[in-house]
Amino acid sequence: MIKVRINKNKIIITGHAGFDSYGKDIVCAAASSIVITSVNAGLRIEEDSLGFKEEKDKLTIEVKSNNKNVLLIVENMTQMLEELAETYKKNIKIIKED
């Protein structure tokens, strides 16, 4: 299962959806596409707006900017992940932390 932990300035994504095998998993592909596109868009708007660290089965995204457009992209990303989680409840879970 993919777990997405969201707090004010950090998003941590871990795991594998388990919908299908690696390379064939549409839930992982959708989540990856949402996240990579969003991070790239934020970085195009403001080069140092987001920090990210990739590890095995883990991605940490740190929001470093108060740029309105960057924050909208991050908000949109989390909303899209939530919608994905609504459709694939067994494969992706959103955890909102304060």
Active site residues: 16, 28
Q: Identify the residue whose tokens are 């300035």.
A: 9
Which amino acid is present at 75? E
Q: What is the rounded CA–CA span in Å between residue 20 and residue 27?
A: 8
Q: What is the rounded CA–CA span in Å between residue 97 and residue 18?
A: 24
